[in-house]
C-alpha cells in the first residue's frame, strides 16, 4: 500500500494546497477572458499566471515551466524528512509539452525564457535543483499524464524499487498549445460548464502540482514524532495519530477507438473504473472527481462510463471551472484537491453546472456538500484513447501494512519476438527485411511491401508511422510463430495486452511541422491534423486502434535509453494483473535521417 506524505498545488489561485482549496471552497475561479493577447489573435478564456506571479516564481537558470515544477516540489518536500539524493527516491514528471516552443509575435514579459531542450533535459534540470540523483521519468500520456504518473509512482513503490516517489505535474500555456486546441474547435469563448446543457467547450489553464508518495504511513516515516507544527492550523493528514491518505488502486485502459475522440460507449473509461472498483465497496465512495472538460463528447462519454460501472448514484464533481484544464498537472492537482476537500468532509461543487446535459444518468454535485465518507474516485481521459482511474482512501492510523503486490510475482519472460528499425535497415527477429530505400522512404516502402492495408498510415506523423510499421512487423512475426493463433495475452478484453513505449525526443519532428503553421501571425493556419500528433502517446493509441487493444497504453520520456529503468517500469506495469503481456520498447524519431525502433513483446510468468 502506498501513502501520501505531502503535497502542493501552485496555480493562479495560490501557491499552496491550502490557498487553492480555500479559493475553490469559496467559489473563486482563476479563469479570465483575454483579448489582444500575444498568444492568440482571437479572444480566449483561460487561467494564466500574472506577470507578477511569474516574476516571483522565476528561478535563475531555469525556464518558466521548470521554475514552476521546482517551486511546487520544494514546497511539498518541505513537509517531509528524507534525503532526496538517496538512490531509493524516484522523481516522476508529468507534462504534455514542457517548455515547448518560444513565444510568438513578441511575447510579453515573463514569457521570454525559452529552450530547445525537450522534456528529458527539463526533468534533469528539475532533479538537479531538487538534489535528486536518480534518473527522472517523464510521463507524457496526454491529458491523463498526471494520473498515470501517480499510478506509476504507486506501482514502483509497491514493487519495492523505491521507498519514495516525488510526482510532479506541470504545464504552461503558449501559442502552440492554445492554437492547437482552437484548431480542434475545443475551446469555449466563455467560462466552461462541465456536464451542463449549455456547455460549449473547455478552457485551458497553467499550474504545477506535486504529491509525495511513500511506502509507509506518514507517522512511520520518522524515528520520532514530528517536531514541526502541522500546516494550516492543525489540518489532519500529518503527524502521529493522524489520518493517512493512501492510493488503493489505479488503472489505465484504452478506448481503441479514435486518437482524438472518445468512445461513445466510454469503453476505456468504463474498463479503468471497473478495474479499480472490482472487489471494493462502492458505498464507501464520497464522490467521483471526473475529468469534466465541458467538451460535448468528453462529458457525454464520462457519464455513460459512470453509469455503466454502476456508479450513477455516487456524487460527481469537476474542477475545470476553477482552474481550466491544466493538462499534465490536472491529474495530480485534482487528486490532491479532492483529498484536501475530504479532509474537510466536503464534496466540492462543480462551478458552471446548472442543468444536466448528458445522457448518462449521473448525479452532478453543483454546490458544496458535506460528507462523512473517506474515499473517492479520480477519473480522467485524453487523446490517444487513454483513460485512467484512481481509488484513494483516508484511513485511520495505525494501519496494518499489507504484503506488497510484488511478493510472489514471477517477473516476465525474455522477449520471443523483436523488431529493430534504423534509417539503414529493418531486422525482424534478427533477420533483415529487404528494402531498397533508406530513411523516411524506407518506412513507406516497408509499409507498401509488408502491410499495405491501412490507408490511415499516410495521415500519421513520422513517429507514429515508425511505430506502426515496427509493431505490425512484430505482431506478424508473433502470429507466424504461433501459426495464426493469437495468445490469450493479446485478447481485446480486460486481460489484454498493454502498449508501453519509451523515447528521448518526444514528438520533436511533429512539433516542428505544426510550428510552421503558426509561426507567422500574417499567415496563421493552425492544423488540427498536425497538432494531435504533437503528443507522443498518440502512437500507442494508433497501435491500440489497429489491434483492438483495450489494455494499458503509456509513453515515457527518458534522458537516455536505460534498460534497467525501462525494466523497472515494465515490471511495475505488470502489477496490474489484468495485463498479461506488453508490446514495448524504444521508439524515437528526431528527423527523417535520425530515428530508431527497438520493439519487442514480453509476457508475464505469474498466474492470474
User: Does residue 228 have a pLDDT over 90?
Assistant: no
Contact 92, 152 (CB under 8 A): yes
User: Residue 113: how many CB atoms within 10 A of its CB?
Assistant: 17
Lowest mean pLDDT among 279-288, 376-385, 430-439: 430-439
- Of all residues in the chain, the percent with pLDDT exceeding 90 is 81
Query: For residue 534, how many C-alpha atoms fall within 13 Å in the half-sphere facing its CB?
Result: 26
Rounded mean pLDDT, 321-325: 98
568-608 residue pLDDT tens: 999 999 999 899 999 999 999 999 999 999 999 998 864 33
Task: For the chain, give the mean pLDDT.
Answer: 89
CA 283 to chain CA centroid, Å, is 28
> Do 99 and 174 touch, CB atoms closer than 8 A?
no
Taking the C-alpha atoms of residue 221 and residue 210, their distance in angstroms, rounded to an integer, is 18
User: Quick one: which of 142, 173, 43 has its CA closest to 553?
Assistant: 142
In this prediction, residues 386-398 reach a mean pLDDT of: 85
C-alpha cell at 441: 522512404
Is 122's pLDDT higher than 50?
A: yes
Distance CA 103, CA 110 (A): 10
- Each residue of 504-547: pLDDT tens digit? 999 999 999 999 999 888 888 999 999 999 999 999 999 999 99
Residue 553 near residue 498 (C-beta atoms within 8 A): yes
553 close to 544: Cβ distance less than 8 angstroms: yes
Q: Is the pLDDT of residue 114 over 60?
A: no
State pLDDT tens for residues 248-275: 999 999 999 999 999 999 999 999 999 9
- For 484: left if phi > 0, alpha if psi spans -120 to 50, otherwise beta; the answer is left
The 3-state DSSP class for residue 482 equals: coil
- Placement of cell 516476465 in the chain: 412
| CB-based contact 342:374 (threshold 8 Å) | yes
pLDDT at residue 412 in the model: 66
Is the pLDDT assigned to residue 414 strictly greater than 80?
no
With helix as H, strand as E and coil as C, how does 120-186 read?
HHHHHHHHHHHCCCCCCEEECCHHHHHHHHHHHHHHHHHCCCCCEEEEEEEECCCHHHHHHHHHCCC
| Cell numbers 528499425: residue | 421
**166 φ, ψ (degrees, to nearest 5):** -100, 110
Q: Could you report the per-residue pLDDT of 463-511, keeping only the tens digit for each?
A: 999 999 999 999 999 999 887 666 555 555 444 899 999 999 999 999 9
Residue pair 390/234 in contact (Cβ under 8 Å)? The answer is no
More confident residue, 261 or 238: 261
Q: What's residue 403's pLDDT?
A: 39
**DSSP β-bridge partners for residue 41:** none
User: 137 pLDDT exceeds 70?
Assistant: yes
Residue 243 has pLDDT above 80, yes or no: no
**Mean pLDDT over residues 74-95, rounded?**
96
Which of 96-110, 112-126, 135-149, 553-567 bottoms out in mean pLDDT, i.e. has the lowest? 96-110
* pLDDT tens per residue, range 340-372: 999 999 999 999 999 999 999 999 999 999 999
CB-CB contact of 84 with 130 (8 Å): yes
C-alpha cell at 496: 489484454
- pLDDT of 603 reads 86
pLDDT at 237 over 50: no
| Cβ atoms < 10 Å from Cβ of 361 | 12
| DSSP classification of residue 556 | E
Virtual CA dihedral for 1, 130, 145, 598, nearest 10 degrees?
A: -100
Which cell goes with 303?
457519464
| pLDDT band (50, 70, 90) for residue 29 | very high
Looking at residue 100, its pLDDT comes to 73
Q: Residues 341, 12: contact at Cβ < 8 Å?
A: no
d(CA 451, CA 472): 7
Q: What was the pLDDT predicted at 107?
A: 38
**In whole angstroms, what separates CA 338 from the centre of its chain?**
17
| Beta strand 32-34 pairing with 44-47 | antiparallel
Mean pLDDT over residues 412-423, rounded?
84
Which residue would you say has higher pLDDT here, 401 or 39? 39
Are 481 and 429 within 8 A, CB to CB?
A: no
Q: What is the structure's pLDDT at 487? A: 59
96-113 residue pLDDT tens: 999 875 444 343 333 333
The pLDDT value given to residue 577: 87
Cα separation, 186 vs 7, in Å, equals 31
CB 499 within 8 A of CB 570: no
- pLDDT by residue (tens digit) across 173-225? 999 999 999 999 999 999 999 999 999 999 999 999 999 999 988 765 543 33
Contact partners, residue 334, CB within 8 Å, separation at least 6 = 146, 289, 319, 378, 380
SS3 content of the chain, % helix, strand, coil (to 5): 35, 25, 45
Amino acid at each position: 500500500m502506498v501513502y501520501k506524505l505531502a503535497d502542493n498545488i501552485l496555480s493562479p489561485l495560490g501557491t499552496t494546497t491550502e490557498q487553492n482549496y480555500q479559493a475553490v471552497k469559496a467559489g473563486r475561479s482563476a479563469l479570465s477572458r483575454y483579448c489582444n493577447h500575444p498568444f492568440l489573435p482571437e479572444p480566449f478564456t483561460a487561467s494564466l499566471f500574472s506577470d507578477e506571479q511569474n516574476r516571483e516564481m522565476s528561478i535563475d537558470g531555469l525556464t518558466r515551466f521548470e521554475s514552476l515544477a521546482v517551486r511546487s516540489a520544494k514546497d511539498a518536500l518541505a513537509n517531509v524528512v528524507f534525503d532526496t539524493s538517496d538512490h531509493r527516491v524516484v522523481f516522476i514528471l508529468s507534462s504534455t509539452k514542457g517548455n515547448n516552443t518560444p513565444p510568438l509575435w513578441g511575447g510579453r514579459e515573463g514569457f521570454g525564457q525559452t529552450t530547445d531542450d525537450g522534456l528529458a533535459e527539463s526533468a534533469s534540470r528539475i532533479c538537479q535543483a531538487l538534489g535528486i540523483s536518480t534518473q527522472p521519468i517523464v510521463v507524457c500520456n496526454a491529458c491523463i499524464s498526471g494520473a498515470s504518473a501517480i499510478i506509476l509512482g504507486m506501482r514502483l513503490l509497491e514493487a519495492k524499487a523505491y521507498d519514495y516517489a516525488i510526482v510532479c505535474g506541470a504545464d504552461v500555456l503558449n501559442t502552440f498549445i492554445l492554437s492547437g486546441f482552437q484548431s480542434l474547435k475545443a475551446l469555449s469563448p466563455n467560462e466552461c460548464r462541465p456536464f451542463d446543457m449549455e456547455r460549449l467547450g473547455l478552457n485551458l489553464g497553467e499550474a504545477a502540482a506535486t504529491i509525495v508518495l511513500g511506502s509507509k504511513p506518514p507517522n512511520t516515516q520518522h524515528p520520532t514524532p514530528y517536531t514541526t507544527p502541522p500546516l494550516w492550523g492543525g489540518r489532519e493528514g500529518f503527524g502521529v495519530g493522524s489520518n493517512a491518505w493512501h492510493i488503493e488502486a489505479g488503472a489505465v485502459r484504452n478506448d481503441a477507438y479514435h486518437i482524438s475522440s472518445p468512445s461513445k460507449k466510454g469503453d476505456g473509461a468504463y474498463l479503468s473504473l471497473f478495474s479499480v472498483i472490482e472487489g471494493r465497496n462502492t458505498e464507501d465512495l464520497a464522490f467521483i472527481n471526473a475529468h469534466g472538460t465541458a467538451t460535448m463528447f468528453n462529458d457525454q462519454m464520462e457519464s455513460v462510463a459512470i453509469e455503466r460501472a454502476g456508479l450513477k448514484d455516487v456524487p460527481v464533481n469537476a474542477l475545470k471551472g476553477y482552474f481550466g484544464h491544466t493538462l499534465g498537472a490536472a491529474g495530480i492537482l485534482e487528486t490532491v484537491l479532492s483529498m484536501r476537500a475530504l479532509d474537510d468532509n466536503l464534496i466540492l461543487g462543480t462551478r458552471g453546472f446548472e442543468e444536466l446535459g448528458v445522457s448518462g444518468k449521473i448525479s452532478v454535485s453543483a454546490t458544496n456538500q458535506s460528507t462523512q465518507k473517506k474515499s473517492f474516485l479520480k477519473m480522467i481521459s485524453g487523446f490517444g484513447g487513454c483513460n485512467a482511474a484512481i481509488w484513494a482512501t483516508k484511513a485511520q492510523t495505525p494501519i496494518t501494512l499489507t504484503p506488497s503486490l510484488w511478493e510472489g510475482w514471477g517477473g516476465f519472460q525474455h522477449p520471443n519476438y523483436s523488431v529493430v528499425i534504423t534509417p539503414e535497415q529493418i531486422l525482424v527477429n534478427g533477420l533483415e527485411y529487404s528494402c531498397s530505400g533508406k530513411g523516411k522512404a524506407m518506412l513507406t516502402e516497408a509499409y507498401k511491401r509488408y502491410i499495405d492495408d491501412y490507408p490511415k498510415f499516410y495521415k500519421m506523423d513520422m513517429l507514429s508511422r515508425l511505430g506502426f510499421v515496427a509493431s505490425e512487423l512484430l505482431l506478424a512475426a508473433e502470429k507466424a510463430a504461433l501459426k495464426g493463433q493469437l495468445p490469450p495475452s493479446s485478447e481485446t478484453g480486460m486481460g489484454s495486452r498493454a502498449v508501453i513505449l519509451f523515447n528521448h525526443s518526444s514528438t520533436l519532428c511533429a512539433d516542428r511541422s505544426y510550428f510552421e503553421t503558426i509561426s507567422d501571425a500574417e499567415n496563421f493556419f493552425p492544423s488540427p491534423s498536425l497538432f494531435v500528433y504533437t503528443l507522443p502517446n498518440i502512437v500507442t493509441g494508433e497501435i491500440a486502434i489497429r489491434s483492438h487493444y483495450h489494455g494499458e497504453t503509456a509513453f515515457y520520456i527518458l534522458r537516455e535509453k536505460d534498460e534497467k529503468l525501462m525494466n523497472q517500469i515494465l515490471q511495475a506495469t505488470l502489477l496490474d494483473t489484468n495485463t498479461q503481456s506488453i508490446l514495448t520498447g524504444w521508439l524515437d524519431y528526431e528527423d527523417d535521417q535520425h530515428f530508431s525502433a527497438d520493439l519487442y513483446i514480453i509476457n508475464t510468468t505469474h498466474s492470474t
